Amino acid sequence: MQTILFNNTLIKELLYPITLNRNAEDVLIGIYTIKEKWMKGLLLYPSLQLPKEIPANLVPSIDFFKCVLHNSWEFALTQTESYRIIEAPWQIAAFNDWALRADIQLHVKHIDNKAISSTVQVLGDALFVEEGLSAECCTFNTHTGPIFIAKNVTIMEGVHLRGPLSIGEGAVIKMGAVIYGATTIGPYCVIGGEVKNSVIMGYSNKAHDGYLGDAVIGSWCNLGAGTSCSNVKNTASEISVWNMHLNKYVEAGKKCGLLMGDYSRSAINTSFNTGTVVGICSHVFQTGQLTPKFISNFAWGINEVYQIDKVFIDIQNWMNFKHCSLENAQKEILYHLYNNKQS
């Protein structure tokens, strides 16, 4: 029986802006996307009996797969520590510590760490490195959680990494960067400055100094030099975040940083307010003050509209840096969203 990870309007609205132009199963959390976790579970346990439809925002672990294998799907759902259901975008970051530790157990490929340079100081023994790592004069601290580094990653001198942490294929970590767990850096990202407990989807850049914490950043985003985001209010009180489904602000706990959709960018020295939501395809710039808490899709600055023809030109300009092109299917999705002016 074929199993389908199903999305519906509710799931996509709950995870706005991350799922506005992607399905929930393509959300990166931990080392893998949700879809990749299910595929790895089926690879490990080919005889798994799964239902015909599974919510695409259900995040499994190896313990969940074992529960299904040895008991039943219904029993596995009673073991709430073995899976997570993501019902808000900030939960992608909030659940990332759990997901990183769980995904290490799903990694079925043998990893040989012998190629690490002697100039790299490794603390602990929970380091997992694929081939092609270029790293010198760095520290990798796995005492606080595992560190997974995919193939062909470049880590420049003076970088400090603290697990749990995942760095995707082809990513570049720039000189002096400080990255705390629980952080996931997607493939072909360029990261500098200070990052903590954040998930950055593939091909995005935070290449310069500035702070990013408790944040979720979509694909093909760029945070200009000096961009920082607040993740805790000065009053240490509850943070309100815009909820697309309810069309109002809701409480998201006491730590929540920037939530940014795909293809959005910030100008240099942009200061994002606590729990700011930025839609897709927006170019954010504002001088001398914190941004509003909600910035819509296709925003130029704060209040103007980013014209769709210019959006496509600028996206392709950024993709040229990484030798990629905007696919027609994605272009059609963006056209549809622009023409329907979904905020």
User: What is the full per-residue pLDDT of the chain (343 aa) written as tens digits?
Assistant: 567 787 778 888 999 999 999 999 999 999 999 999 999 999 999 999 999 999 999 999 999 999 999 999 999 999 999 999 999 999 999 999 999 999 999 875 666 666 789 999 999 989 999 999 999 999 999 999 999 999 999 999 999 999 999 999 999 999 999 999 899 999 999 999 999 999 999 999 999 999 999 999 999 999 999 999 999 999 999 999 999 889 999 999 999 999 999 999 999 999 999 999 999 999 999 877 889 999 999 999 988 999 999 999 999 999 999 999 999 999 999 999 999 874 4
Cα 179 to its chain centre, rounded Å, is 14
- pLDDT score at 109: 63
pLDDT at 210: 96
Tell me if 76 is assigned to some domain. yes
Is 42 a member of any domain?
Answer: yes
261 found inside a domain? no
> How remote is the C-alpha of 225 from its chain's centroid?
20
In contact, 151 and 171? CB cutoff 8 Å: no
- Residue 108: predicted pLDDT: 57
Beta bridge partners of 165: 147, 183
Based on the number of CB atoms within 10 Å of its own CB, is 184 exposed (0-12), middle (13-18) or buried (19 or more)? buried
Asked if residue 49 belongs to a domain, the reply is: yes
| Alpha helices per DSSP H over the chain | 9-14, 34-44, 62-70, 73-78, 90-94, 96-106, 308-320, 328-340
Which residue segment(s) compose the domain that 47 sits in? 4-89
Number of domains comprising the chain: 1
Q: Report if residue 29 sits inside a domain.
A: yes
pLDDT of residue 107: 78
DSSP string, 204-251: -EE-SS-EEES-EE-TT-EE-TT-EE--S-TT--PPEEEETTTTEEEE
> Is residue 79 in some structural domain?
yes
42 closest CA partner among 98, 14, 3:
3
Residue 69 in any domain: the answer is yes
Q: Give yes or no for a cis peptide into 164 (omega within 30° of 0).
A: yes
Of the candidates 9, 10, 19, the one whose C-alpha atom is nearest the C-alpha of residue 259 is 19
- pLDDT, residue 245, reads 87
Task: Decide if 278 is inside a domain.
Answer: no
Query: How far apart, in Å, are the Cα atoms of 175 and each of 131, 167, 172, 298?
Result: 21, 15, 10, 33
- pLDDT score recorded for residue 187: 98
| CA dist., res. 167 & res. 102, Å (int) | 16
